Structure 1
Amino acid sequence: MKEVKRIAYLVRPTEGGIRAHVLALLSQIDRSRFEPVLICPPTVSLFHEAEKIGIQVLPLDIVGEINPRRDFRCVVQLRRILKRIRPNIFHMHSAKAGLIGRIATFGISPRPRLVLTEHVFIFDERTGRLKRVMMALTERLLARATDRIVTVSEALRHELLVEMGINPRKVITIHNGIIFQPLVHVAKPGKLVGTVSRLAPQKGVDHFLRAAALVCKRVPGTRFVIIGDGPYRTQLESLANSLGISERVEFMGYRTDAIGMVRTFDVFVLASTRESFGLTLVEALSQQIPVVASRTGGITEIVDGETTGLLAEPGNAEDMADNICRLLEDPALAASLAARGCDFVRSQFSAERMAQETQNMYEELLS
């Protein structure tokens, strides 16, 4: 009988795409071949969700931001855990988990195979040159001790190779995958355009609101919904008021039933100015909701601008409004794009496919 290999997963505090990715992976992993152990903060929902599906979960006081004192204690605690459970593979998710995790494994014997999955772009327009150089140098050094680095899109892989200078033989792309909900058609309550997004500057919700103001003039009666929360909410609510559309826009905050709300949309919009993948696009398209998204990052690996959805230039509210109106005013086009988009994402971005590619990587590393 073949030996079951233990895979330890390290996750920092997260409630967004990383949480969904890890939970989907854990739910699909073949437990006749691999024994998953999740290491994460006990305060996040992933801790309890993983327990519910029978995953062994170990608590770790890891924080999202750089905090030297707490990070040092975390490294010490993590080393004790790894020495006790002795995983065959140690799979870290996100740059912060990768930093803590790889430092913690120095000198451990036997050393597990190290895998890091990067979920988001490392740099943005606010990252200064000196910080870029230091971050790139640190990652190149840590990459030497890493057996495989996984990116969730080709766009993110390109950043690691070109801007970080990582050895291309170590970096592979395994696209994100989701556990698809049943395709359900619901009655549409008038013309409704919405987005699901963290309310942070790079998500471009301010551009969505400016586009909404333009759509209101061309397609009277259209309403808008924003699902999600974040540090930018107060500013966005003020912007909606200054644009004169506050009565047309509903800020719904974080919702556990977001997919049910998305089913009522006539158009789904993702206005990010920088996006490594775009998991919410996959979720919307999987419900045959036509989409308009920014032509940036990993989004173009989901939406091609012609057959699976429409693309607008990042930060261009006029272009985004034109595309939203095009779908609202042409139901046949909207239905065609939604149907083809649904077929595409359900064939390409399933959790089963993601898990199989990940397990193939594990087998290769252990051979």
Structure 2
Amino acid sequence: MKVLLTATVQSHICQFHKPLVEVLHKHGCEVHVAARDNLAEKNGLKLDFVEKVYDIPFARSPKSKDNIQAYKELKNIINKEKYDVIHCNTPMGGIVTRLAAKQARKQGTKVYYTAHGFHFYKGAPKKNWIVFYPIEKYFSRMTDKLITITKEDYHLASQKFHCKVERIHGVGVDENRYHSVLQEEQMEIRKQFGFTDGQKIILCVGELLPNKNQQMIIHAMQKIVKKYPDAQLLLAGNGSEKENLENLIKSLRLTENIKMLGYVTNLQEYQKIADVSVSCSKREGLPLNIVEAMLSGTPVVASVNRGHRELIQNGKNGFLIDVNDCERIADKVLKILTDKQLYGEIQKNANTYAQAYTFRNVKKELEVVYFKS
């Protein structure tokens, strides 16, 4: 069987679809990728685990003329290669691919589309429903299988769309990288990074963008350091808000308590030593950083949005706080840090829940999608 994976950019395939490729290779499939080459700007990501890669000029903007060229090039590739399955991802990658595959589908090629979180959902802006819902519903007619990663998307698509709908637990998190460690190893990693054994470490992972809303936890640190003067907030990620956040940290006189790590490739090491993981995003699809924390034994306090609601059962395996409620997020972080019994219960429940989102389980679900359903 020959399979083509498409997305707007090649980094998407590198970051999210290696488990799928491993499943396909296990079954003897040949796998090709068609996407725009953006790997030079992605800290050494390599697309070296597939048989063939096509650089296609997809653009994220639906207004870009590059997508017309992408359609033409992709159609020629599809006609030449004669794929058994074409599996598309990302909004524009999905639209352009399904248009280019229209004729091939009539000749027996199966077309799959993974929706990594619809733009329309409970609580989404009305314009999202007006614009995006009709488009996704229309293109479902050009789809043999729609793969969803959230319960909400699955139920909506199953009821309203014109194709078979499957649900998997996201793209998977590597359980061999993200797992809890014994106290001795944790102490050794802390020592290597320059932290003391008793120092409270709070980790916030995400690009430094307005949507990620790191200023919420920065403000909350004012209250946290009153109880734990040497507490450290670690901000992992790069982005356009870096200077604004640095200025905020200085204005609140928190430079000794907040460290900006930038883009890190050993994030699992920071998860192993963190006491609490926080996320303050205004919007999320299905955030991997929450699953990574859960698997690492790090209790999570997060803002209320659809992605966090999908993963966190408030009070059982983590805590949910209204966006920009800095007082309350500080209170919950302090509660977790001071209540050992609660800490242990959250750890246990979170780890159990997160097992469904591991590479191991997601690969089983992909096997069903491709070979058993």
Q: TM-score range by the shorter chain?
A: 0.7 to 0.9
Assess if the C-alpha contact under 8 Å between 2:314 and 2:320 holds in 1.
yes
- In 1, distance between residues paired with 2:162 and 2:226? 49
Q: Secondary structure at the match of 2:114?
A: strand
Assess if the C-alpha contact under 8 Å between 2:301 and 2:320 holds in 1.
yes
Assess if the C-alpha contact under 8 Å between 1:28 and 1:352 holds in 2.
no
Q: Quick check: 1:50 aligned with 2:47?
A: yes
C-alpha displacement of 1:7: 1.8
Q: Secondary structure at the match of 2:77?
A: helix
Alignment of 1:1-367 (within 5 A): 5-13=1-9, 15=11, 19-44=14-39, 49-51=46-48, 53-108=49-104, 110-123=107-120, 129=126, 132-157=129-154, 166-167=160-161, 170-176=164-170, 177-182=172-177, 183=179, 184=181, 185-187=185-187, 188=190, 189=195, 190-345=199-354, 347-363=355-371
Q: Secondary structure at the match of 1:107?
A: helix
- In 2, distance between residues paired with 1:124 and 1:211? 29
Which one is further off, 24-33 or 120-129? 120-129
Structure 2 unmatched ranges of 5 or more: none
Q: Superposition RMSD on alpha carbons, in Å?
A: 2.8
- In 2, distance between residues paired with 1:54 and 1:226? 34
- In 2, distance between residues paired with 1:104 and 1:74? 9
Assess if the C-alpha contact under 8 Å between 1:307 and 1:340 holds in 2.
yes
Cα 1:295/1:244, change in 2 over 3 Å? same
C-alpha displacement of 1:309: 2.0
Assess if the C-alpha contact under 8 Å between 1:115 and 1:150 holds in 2.
yes
Cα 1:306/1:355, change in 2 over 3 Å? same
How many residues are paired up? 355
Q: Secondary structure at the match of 2:47?
A: helix
Write out per-residue CA displacement over residues 103-130 of structure 1, whole angstroms, 9 at most, x where no aligned residue.
Answer: 2123335252111111134159998755
Q: Give the percent of matched residue pairs that are identical in Structure 1 and Structure 2.
A: 20
Assess if the C-alpha contact under 8 Å between 1:20 and 1:178 holds in 2.
no
Alignment-mate amino acid for residue 167 of structure 1: F
C-alpha displacement of 1:231: 2.3
- In 1, distance between residues paired with 2:116 and 2:152? 11
Q: Secondary structure at the match of 2:103?
A: coil
